Structure 1
């Protein structure tokens, strides 16, 4: 079944030399495809399936999780740490070991505790501020001689002169004091976003991505987005930093027998009995960046990656996707499943959509809308409608299902994330909406549901 699915998928690539994969093993199980509303549900499902495998004496070394984006290992790593399941990252670093994540954690540690000398040493010159080893040595010396923290030693040192480097140190200290004073007034998520903005750390990563040919640099911004998402699991900064301490302990206590986590690129040449393919959402996989930059060639390369991922499994494959956008502050709220899921042979897969979809009657309501202008129908919605006509179970989703022809100032609308509100004014394809349980926001008309 696995080889037949992989061959069926890759056959969509035109101009490819046809070759049929075969195996002398039995047909095996169908590929399991499951949709979830949140990333947490996805990682809980995968960990539950792994626990079942363990109870059936399956070695951890025969279990692997493959991702298109390395940042998406984070929710699985956190879950495994909480459960005490041993894991390793193949061909890369664990999420909290990655340079940019350690940098942001160091900023947060320093803001939490101004006496944290290790945190200060790590980020006082990141991004570059012209504060080199010689200057750090002087600060260290003042700290030791006066039995004070390096942060206070830096404040003491800049009193002696107004050199360029001292001006930079003064500006750094001023910003840290500002963040330290604000930490009781704003939550830890806003604080982190403010630090990233004030320190120009995101700009620094964007510049790195622009100038570097190292593929790792392309993932750094994704890792930062995932990091901010991870903060939502904690009530405050203290709780998050305690968790990080636990994570770092787990990193130092590794077993040979571990679950393998890796990107699809890192999986080439490896095989496992049980493979979980996570994050099969349109825009994530296939990668929107790849399609935007390379067009059809990029799409075919992504399909080859899907083929590689599928053929890593000897016995069983689970494919998962998440409906809610992994980063809730991006321009749209929801994902549809990857087009590659649609390209798999229907008789060889078992599909289960998210609880949200199965408990929501909007699909039935939408399918009854007549005379809808085809320009409003996205590819995801077209597939959704075609399945309803065939009386097939739906596992595809796009929330922008209502025409904006009803849009007028004063209209009452509903948004999946922000709830009910009233349109204040319309600007092209967007509307300024005053939400009843949120603030006033500018939203694309296609993401609004018009109510009577």
Structure 2
């Protein structure tokens, strides 16, 4: 059993080659869910299903939810579907009255009504494919024994990615079977957001008595230097199996950590590295923790004329929320834009039906703008649509828009006022997506254009240039999220944006699973065969403002001797791309190397081996920031080399800082301490 159809197909092909004949394969090689579906078809009468039942997809589930709960929106239905799937992945049925339902704000009545409607159709959803076989075998001992005798041996691939119901299913079948084998790497468990539980592999021996652990410690991919760094990265996790991974490959180039002043410099470096990879006919993987970072890298590669492939994601300007944002801006500047009007006027829904939109666009095609047409057709427009059009019109023509300083500021106001900001915030909650971050990235980019007609023209021209050329092509230059990189390998790897709040990701201490984030970093590092670079910026645009950032705590944990530290002081494009004194035969790219790694990277005065805590920072202490004013420390988190403080300021704003890297924040002196 494995997790993807692709992996199952590859296993079948390998087994067929080993046995010389497809006919000799007696094994059932499939995904978990395919195996569960086969059991349901065998025992369909026991679970009151027709043998030819269908499997509902997410859209089908949403349709059922809208029947179960009258008057809910598509976003609300999607959120309920996600919660039901979440419960099924944890083995929680609609009649269990589990407290987790309350935590998810899902009523048992909604769950039960959904199940009743689905049962009446004679079909199942994806979550049923494991939950129903588990419940059947748990209740029906005869069926359980039949399955145990039919499949005496079981091998599970990628066991670190199993969730609750998969564990319960396997434990029920094979707890006392000596022919049960799982293969996995706890250091590569990175799918908690999908329900994966790393403890399944960590506690395997206690759940399956008498089991034996066989450590496969030789790495056949990465050079010794890269592997040494990877081991250092993951060694800071406490919940893991100990292992001494080693490489039999030749020693290669020492991994690089590169500091950039601004993200533009980082983007230019991506181009330079891509050129070097193409010159040497090497594959290059460019990884990032959040998808919104891809915009800058995509744009830089497009403008440089370098083909690339964006893996597992939609190109930035082809994403739904970005198309919505651009449609808003285009309609704001041009009321005759029929395409943009049709796309955005009823999103999110404001009771403007398809018939009304068609009537307006037909008249617009004659040369009138949408405001003029609205007034002409007003008496023929239903009352609900009139209200929606009035609201949309007030948002699009608000006087304050003209006073905004930049295109980005206009976009931010428009996106909020028409309701799209809230719409995509809810979408992110329902689908675990990053749509809001993508819009924030577009706002940041658009903030580089002033709110003047000439600048608007420049903005639209640049968007059109990139839109027309963003296409996934077969290329050795591949961009992807760190999650997408799992299972792949590249001659060269660059992991970008390794900054606190991005990797590890999270706005608050409570939002961060530090050990999983560190495992994700480890996965990215171990994709590299010959060359590895890790980059971060001192400042990065966010929602139209240039904000100070800090190197990730993961970078600060690295042993100095395992990396080459480089600093780019961005003064001009020529300086950035200038080849400094560096033997090109030994590396893939020109770097501005400095040997003052300790002074630039670690807090001044600390030793390389045992930096001290910033113990003077305590919860409850009052602080003063040059820009934000007075505040109080809410939380302090210490690592072995630095501390992070979370501060709430008098105006209500909250922010996180690494105080040893910022002179802007100081602890207020206490009076009368003697």
Equivalent residue, structure 2, for 1:343 = 557
In structure 2, the partner of 1:15 is 239
Partner of 1:362: none
Residue by residue over 1:195-247, the C-alpha shift from the partner in whole angstroms, topping out at 9 and shown as x without a partner, is 1222122122222233x1x222xx11111111111113434222111111111
Contact 1:71 1:223 in 2 (8 A): yes
Report how far residue 147 of structure 1 moved. 4.9
Provide, for residues 268-323 of structure 1, a one-character-per-residue CA deviation record: whole Å limited to 9, x for no partner. Answer: 11111011000101121011258523x6xx11111111111001111101100011
Q: Cα distance 1:151–1:64, how it changes in 2: closer, same or farther (>3 A)?
A: farther
**Gap runs ≥5 in structure 2:** 1-224, 571-598, 634-647, 668-674
Query: 2:281: which partner in 1?
Result: 58
SS at match of 1:110: helix
Aligned to 2:522: 307
Is 1:228 equivalent to 2:443 in the alignment? Answer: yes
Residue aligned with 2:424, SS: helix
Preserved contact between residue 449 and residue 459 of structure 2 (Cα < 8 Å): yes
TM-score (norm 1): 0.75
Task: Name the structure 2 match of 1:323.
Answer: 538
Which structure has more RCO (C-alpha within 8 Å, separation ≥ 6)? 1
- Change in Cα spacing, 1:161 to 1:128, as seen in structure 2 (3 Å) is closer
Secondary structure, counterpart of 2:539 in structure 1:
coil
Alignment of 1:103 onto 2:324: yes
Question: What is the Cα deviation at residue 325 of structure 1?
Answer: 4.0
Given that 2:253 and 2:530 are in contact with CA atoms closer than 8 Å, whether structure 1 keeps it comes out as: yes
Q: 1:204 aligns with which of 423, 433, 436?
A: 423
After superposition, residues 256-275 of structure 1 pair within 5 angstroms as 256-275=474-493
Rounded Cα–Cα distance in structure 2 between residues aligned with 1:105 and 1:169: 19
State the distance in 1 between where 2:234 and 2:653 align: 41
Q: CA RMSD in A?
A: 3.6
- Gap change, CA 1:442 and 1:246, over 3 Å in 2: same
Q: Secondary structure at the match of 2:470?
A: helix
Whether the aligned pair in 1 keeps the contact of 2:443 and 2:543 (CA below 8 Å) is no
Aligned to 1:171: 391
The 5-angstrom pairing of residues 339-378 of structure 1 reads: 339-353=553-567, 355=569
Output the CA distance in 2 between the equivalents of 1:329 and 1:256: 34
d(CA) in 1 for partners of 2:547, 2:417: 27
**Deviation of the 1:188 alpha carbon:** 1.5
Corresponding residue SS for 1:274: strand
- The answer (yes or no) to whether the contact 1:158–1:169 under 8 Å persists in 2 is no
Deviations 1:337-365, CA, capped at 9 Å, x for gaps = 11211333322211124538xxxxxxxxx
Say if 1:115 and 1:151, in contact at 8 Å, map to a contact too: no
Deviation for aligned residue 1:154: 2.9
Aligned to 1:410: none
Shift of 1:129: 0.8
| TM-aligned CA deviation for residue 105 of structure 1 | 0.3
CA distance in 1, matches of 2:653, 2:385: 43
1:378 corresponds to: none
**Residue 384 of structure 1, CA deviation:** 3.9
Structure 2 matches for 1:5-404, cutoff 5 A?
A: 5-54=229-278, 56-59=279-282, 62-144=283-365, 146-160=366-380, 163-178=383-398, 182-183=401-402, 186-210=405-429, 212=430, 214-216=431-433, 219-235=434-450, 236-252=455-471, 255-289=473-507, 292-293=510-511, 298-327=513-542, 333-353=547-567, 355=569, 384-385=602-603, 387-390=604-607
Q: Which runs of 5 or more residues in structure 1 are unaligned?
A: 357-380, 408-412, 434-440
Determine helix, strand or coil for the equivalent of 1:388.
coil
Task: Rate the CA distance shift 1:147–1:281 in 2: closer, same or farther, 3 A.
Answer: closer
Instruction: Determine the C-alpha separation between the residues in 2 that align with 1:256 and 1:431.
Output: 50
**Matching residue of 2:177:** none
- What's the CA shift for 1:159? 3.9
Following the alignment from structure 1 to structure 2, what is the Cα–Cα distance between the partners of residues 251 and 35? 28
**TM-aligned CA deviation for residue 414 of structure 1:** 5.1
Task: Assess, with a 3 A threshold, how the Cα gap between structure 1 residues 283 and 129 changes in structure 2: closer, same or farther.
Answer: same
Q: Hey, what's the Cα distance between the residues in 1 that align with 2:280 and 2:367?
A: 56
Per-residue CA deviations over 1:358-396 (Å, capped at 9, x if unaligned) read xxxxxxxxxxxxxxxxxxxxxxx9x943x534389x9xx
Aligned residues: 385
Going from structure 1 to structure 2, the CA distance change for 1:57 and 1:209 (only over 3 Å counts) comes to closer
The alpha-carbon distance between structure 1 residues 406 and 442, as it changes in their structure 2 partners (threshold 3 A), is closer
The TM-score normalised by the length of structure 2 is 0.51
SS where residue 269 of structure 1 aligns? coil
Q: How much has 1:85 moved relative to structure 2? A: 1.2
Question: Could you say what secondary structure the match of 1:275 adopts?
Answer: strand
Deviations 1:383-434 (A, max 9, x none): 943x534389x9xx9xx9xxx9897xxxxx955xx9xxxx8xx68788899x
User: 1:36 touches 1:322 (CA, 8 Å); kept in 2?
Assistant: yes
Q: 1:51 to 1:140 in 2, by over 3 A?
A: same
* Distance verdict in 2 for CA 1:159–1:27, change over 3 Å: same
